[in-house]
Structure 1
Amino acid sequence: MFRGKSMAYATLDLPVTSGSHIVRGGISREVRHIAILLYDGCSLLGAGIVAEVFHVANELAASGTRNEAYDVCILSADGGNVTCSSSVRVWTDGLDARHYIGFDALFIAGGKGACNAASDERLLAWLRRVHGNTRTIRPIAEGRTLLEAASLCGQRVPRDFGSYAMQSVREDVISDPDDRVDSMKSALALVKRDLGVEIARNVAERLMPDSGGNLMPLLGDALGSDPADKVRAAARWLQENCQRSISISDAAQVAAMSERNFLRRFKLEMGITPSDYLLHARLAITCSLLTDSELPVDKIARRTGMGNGDRLAKIFRKRMMISPTEYRQQSRREAGA
Structure 2
Amino acid sequence: MAYAGLDNPDNGAASATGKRRRRSVRDIGVVLFEGFSLLTAGVIPEVFQMANEIGAARSKDGALYDVRFYSAEGGSVACSSSIDVWTYACDTRNASGFDALFIVGGEGAQSAARDERVVGWLREVLPLSEVVKPIGEGRMLLEAAGVGSSGASNGTADSPQQIAGAEGEDPGDAADRDEPAKTVLMLVKRDLGIEVARETAGRLSLRSPGLLAALLSDTSTTTQAEKVRASARWLKENCGRPISVSDAVRVAAMSERNFLRCFKQEIGVTPSEFLLQTRLDMTSRLLAETDLRIDKIAKRCGWINGDRLAKIFRKRMSLTPSEYRAQARRLAPDDPS
The alignment's TM-score, normalised by the length of structure 2, stands at 0.54
- Structure 1 gap ranges (5+): 15-19, 21-29, 159-164, 226-337
User: What is residue 32 of structure 1 aligned with on the other side?
Assistant: 26
Q: Which moved more, 1:185-194 or 1:58-67?
A: 58-67
The answer on whether the counterparts of 1:82 and 1:91 sit within 8 Å (CA) in structure 2 is: yes
Match status 1:203 vs 2:207: no
Is 1:2 aligned to 2:42, yes or no? no
1:157-188 deviation digits (Å, cap 9, x = unpaired): 99xxxxxx977999668366111222211211
C-alpha deviation, 1:208, in angstroms? 1.4
Q: Which has the larger radius of gyration?
A: 2
1:73 aligns with 2:68: yes
Show CA shifts across 1:238-263 (max 9, x none).
xxxxxxxxxxxxxxxxxxxxxxxxxx
Partner of 1:219: 215
Which residue is equivalent to 2:166?
Answer: 174
Q: 2:77 aligns with which of 64, 79, 82?
A: 82
User: Residue in 2 aligned with 1:302?
Assistant: none
Q: Cα offset for 1:139? A: 1.0
Whether contact under 8 Å (1:103, 1:133) holds in the other structure is yes
Query: 5 Å matches for 1:74-223?
Result: 74-97=69-92, 100-153=95-148, 154-155=150-151, 174=166, 177-208=174-205, 211=207, 213-220=209-216, 222-223=218-219
Query: Does the CA contact (< 8 Å) of 2:133 and 2:152 recur in 1?
Result: no
Choose from 48, 54, 59 the match for 1:60: 54
1:268-319 alpha-carbon deviations (Å, 9 max, x no partner)? xxxxxxxxxxxxxxxxxxxxxxxxxxxxxxxxxxxxxxxxxxxxxxxxxxxx
Give the residue type in structure 2 aligned to 1:52. E
Seen in structure 2, the aligned counterparts of structure 1 residues 152 and 67 have a Cα distance that, compared at 3 Å, is same
Contact 2:18–2:97 (8 Å) recurs in 1: no
Report if aligned partners of 1:196, 1:222 keep a CA contact under 8 Å in 2: no
Can you give the 5+ residue segments of structure 2 that lack an aligned partner in the other structure?
222-337
How far apart are 1:96 and its partner, in Å? 2.5
Deviation, structure 1 residue 12: 3.8
Contact 1:84 1:90 in 2 (8 A): yes
CA distance in structure 2 between the aligned counterparts of 1:34 and 1:133, rounded to whole angstroms: 13
When normalised by structure 1's length, the TM-score is 0.54
- The CA RMSD measured in Å over matched residues stands at 3.3
Structure 1 residues 124 and 11, CA gap change in structure 2 (3 angstroms): closer
Contact kept in structure 1, 2:76 and 2:85, CA below 8 Å? yes
State the distance in 2 between where 1:195 and 1:78 align: 34
Aligned-residue offset at 1:131:
0.5
Tell me the residue number matched to 1:46.
40
Q: How many residues align?
A: 205
Instruction: Tell me how far apart the structure 2 counterparts of residues 106 and 208 of structure 1 sit (CA, whole Å).
Output: 24
- Per-residue deviation, 1:149: 1.4
Distance (Å, rounded) in 2 between the aligned partners of 1:157 and 1:140: 13
Counterpart Cα distance in 1 of 2:187 and 2:214: 11
Q: Secondary structure at the match of 1:110?
A: coil
Identity percentage of aligned residues: 41
Conserved 8 A contact 1:104-1:134: yes
Q: What is the rounded CA distance, in whole Å, between the counterparts of 1:11 and 1:127 in structure 2?
A: 14
